[in-house]
Amino acid sequence: MLENLLQAPLTSLLMGLILALLGLILVFAGRGVIKFIAFLIGGIIGGLAASTIMAPYLGGATILAGVIGFILVGALTQLLLPVGAGLVAAALTYLFLKPLLNVIFALIIAVIIFFAVLMLFNKIVAVGTAFLGSLIFLAGIKQFIPIDIYLSLLIVAVLTAIGCIVQLRGR
Phi, psi of 144 (to 5 degrees): -130, -5
Q: pTM value?
A: 0.77
Please, is 74 exposed, middle or buried when counting C-beta atoms within 10 Å of its C-beta (0-12, 13-18, 19+)? buried
**Whole-angstrom distance, CA of residue 131 vs CA of residue 120:** 17
* % residues pLDDT > 70 (the chain): 94
Residue type, 164: C
The stretch 55-72 carries a mean pLDDT of 84
pLDDT tens digits, 90-108: 999 999 999 888 889 989 9
Q: Where are the domains of the chain?
A: 15-168
Distance, C-alpha 33 to centroid of its chain? 7
Per cent of the chain over pLDDT 90 is 58
Q: What is the pLDDT of residues 27-49, one digit of tens each?
A: 999 888 999 999 999 999 999 88
